[in-house]
C-alpha cells in the first residue's frame, strides 16, 4: 500500500489497539507531514504512548494500517523502520564517553569511526555539546544527558524522531529551556518530530499541530491556535489552558450564533458543529483572559457579578466573581489592574461573542480539571 500524498511522512489509518478487553486506542486516523513537529497530548492512560509505540514498531496494532513514507510498515519490526525513539529515561551508557554514546548506533551499522567522525561532531555542535565529547554521563547535567540522547537518536538521520515525554525527568526551568532547544534542533534539521506529552504548555509552545487524546480517541487535531481558541469538545477546552464553564439554557439557535439564558442574563455564543434547540441545557465557555472587568466599551455579553476573590500570580491577577450558581474568572495583567476592587463589590464582566463557545450539557461529564496541567 502506498500513499499518494507525498508530503505525508507518517499515516495512521483506522488504528485500534486492544490489550485483552481494554481498548487502549480506538479508530485513530492521523496524518503527520514531513518536517512537522506533531504532538500527541492527553492525560495519563489516554493512548498517546501506545500510539507512539505502534509508530515505532514496539507495539503491533490490533487492526488498522501504519504508513511510513507511503509504505505499509504495520507488521515491519522496529529495527527495520527508519525512525528512532527517545524516552524519558535517556539510557546513556555510563561506561562510554559522550562521543562513543553518539557513535554507538553508527558502529552497529558497521560505520568506521573515521567515517562517523564528521557526523558525530556535527551532532555535538547542533545540540551545543561540542568540546565535551570525552566526558562520561556522570560528569554532565540532566539537560546535557538529554542532549546526548537526542544526538545519538539523530546521528542516524532518521526520517522521524519519536519522543516519549523526554523532558519529564527535568525540573521546571530546565524543561522550559529544553523546549526551546528541541524546537530549534527540529527546525534546523527539518526532521519530523512526533512528541508525546501530558503537558499542554509544552505542546502549545513547540508543536506545529497537536492531537488531543482521551480514552484512546483523538478528540481534536489542529494547530495550537485552533486547539486553544476553537476547542471542538468541552474536554479539550478544559485540558488546554484555563476556561470558565457556565451553565445555561438555549433561547434560540441560528446559523451563526446561539442565544443562551444564564440567570437573568442573555448571552450570545458562536455556533459550532453541535445542533441546539430552545430549552436545551448547555455549557457556555469563555477563557479568563477574554473576560474584561468594567469594560470601557459596551460588550455583546455583559453580566454583573459579585467579586469574591483576587489572587496575585506575579505577572497577572486572577479575579473570581460569583454569578448566581456559577463562578466567572478573569485574568487581568498587573498593568491593567490599576483600579483596585474589593471582595463583595459588584462589578461588570464582559466579553465578545467570538470568545464565547457553547457545548451540550452532556459534555460536562467529560470535563477534566487537572491539578498538574
Write the pLDDT tens digit of every residue in 75-118: 999 999 999 998 877 678 889 999 999 999 999 999 999 999 99
Which one-letter DSSP state was computed for residue 340? -
369 pLDDT exceeds 80?
Answer: no
Percent pLDDT > 70 in the chain is: 96
CB contact at 8 A, 78 and 56: yes
The grid cell for 116 is: 562517523
Tell me the average pLDDT across 48-57: 97
Q: In this predicted model, what pLDDT tens digit does every residue of 246-267 receive, in sequence order?
A: 999 999 998 789 999 988 899 9
4 pLDDT exceeds 60?
Answer: no
Fold assignment, 235-366? OB fold (Dihydrolipoamide Acetyltransferase, E2P) (2.40.50)
Task: Label residue 338 by pLDDT band (50, 70, 90).
Answer: low
339 pLDDT exceeds 80?
Answer: no
| Beta strand extents in 20-114 (DSSP E only) | 22-33, 37-41, 63-68, 71-72, 83-87
Question: pTM for the complete prediction?
Answer: 0.89
User: What are the angstrom distances between the C-alpha of 271 and each of 15, 226, 319?
Assistant: 31, 15, 27
Q: Return the residue matching grid coordinates 539537560.
A: 143
What count of residues does the chain have? Answer: 373
Tell me the average pLDDT across 212-237: 95
- Which CATH code is given to the segment(s) 8-234? 3.40.50.300
Domain with CATH 3.40.50.300 in the chain: 8-234
Q: How far apart are CA 253 and CA 105, in angstroms?
A: 60
Cβ-based burial of 88 (10 A; exposed 0-12, middle 13-18, buried ≥19): middle
Domain with CATH 2.40.50.100 in the chain: 235-366
Amino acid at each position: 500500500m502506498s500513499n499518494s500524498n507525498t508530503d505525508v511522512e507518517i499515516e495512521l489509518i483506522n488504528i485500534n489497539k486492544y490489550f485483552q478487553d481494554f481498548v487502549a486506542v480506538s479508530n485513530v486516523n492521523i496524518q503527520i507531514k514531513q518536517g512537522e513537529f506533531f504532538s500527541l497530548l492527553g492525560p495519563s492512560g489516554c493512548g498517546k504512548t501506545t500510539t507512539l509505540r505502534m509508530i515505532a514498531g514496539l507495539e503491533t496494532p490490533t487492526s488498522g494500517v501504519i504508513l511510513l513514507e507511503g509504505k505499509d510498515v504495520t507488521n515491519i519490526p522496529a529495527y527495520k523502520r527508519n525512525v528512532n525513539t527517545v524516552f524519558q529515561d535517556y539510557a546513556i551508557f555510563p561506561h562510554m564517553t559522550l562521543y562513543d554514546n553518539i557513535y554507538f548506533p553508527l558502529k552497529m551499522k558497521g560505520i568506521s569511526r573515521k567515517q562517523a567522525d564528521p557526523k558525530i561532531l556535527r551532532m555535538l555542535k547542533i545540540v551545543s555539546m561540542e568540546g565535551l565529547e570525552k566526558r562520561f554521563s556522570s560528569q554532565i547535567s540532566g539537560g546535557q544527558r538529554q542532549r546526548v540522547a537526542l544526538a545519538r537518536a539523530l546521528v542516524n538521520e532518521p526520517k522521524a524522531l519519536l519522543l516519549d515525554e523526554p523532558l519529564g525527568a527535568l525540573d521546571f526551568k530546565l524543561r522550559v529551556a529544553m523546549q526551546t532547544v528541541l524546537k530549534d534542533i527540529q527546525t534546523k534539521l527539518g526532521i519530523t518530530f512526533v512528541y508525546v506529552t501530558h503537558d499542554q504548555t509544552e505542546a502549545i509552545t513547540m508543536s506545529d499541530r497537536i492531537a488531543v487524546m482521551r480514552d484512546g480517541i483523538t478528540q481534536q487535531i489542529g494547530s495550537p491556535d485552533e486547539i486553544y481558541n476553537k476547542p471542538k469538545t468541552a474536554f479539550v477546552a478544559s485540558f488546554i489552558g484555563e476556561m470558565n464553564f457556565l451553565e445555561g439554557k438555549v433561547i434560540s439557535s441560528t446559523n451563526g450564533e446561539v442565544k443562551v439564558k444564564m440567570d437573568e442574563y442573555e448571552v450570545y455564543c458562536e455556533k459550532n458543529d453541535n445542533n441546539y434547540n430552545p430549552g436545551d441545557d448547555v455549557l457556555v465557555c469563555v477563557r479568563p483572559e477574554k473576560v474584561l472587568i468594567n469594560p470601557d466599551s459596551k460588550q455583546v455579553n455583559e453580566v454583573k457579578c459579585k467579586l469574591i476573590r483576587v489572587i496575585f500570580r506575579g505577572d497577572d491577577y486572577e479575579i473570581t466573581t460569583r454569578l448566581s450558581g456559577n463562578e466567572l474568572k478573569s485574568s487581568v495583567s498587573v498593568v491593567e489592574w490599576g483600579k483596585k476592587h474589593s471582595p463583595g463589590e459588584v462589578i461588570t464582566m464582559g466579553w465578545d461573542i467570538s470568545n464565547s463557545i457553547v457545548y451540550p450539557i452532556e459534555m460536562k461529564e467529560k470535563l477534566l480539571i487537572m491539578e498538574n496541567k
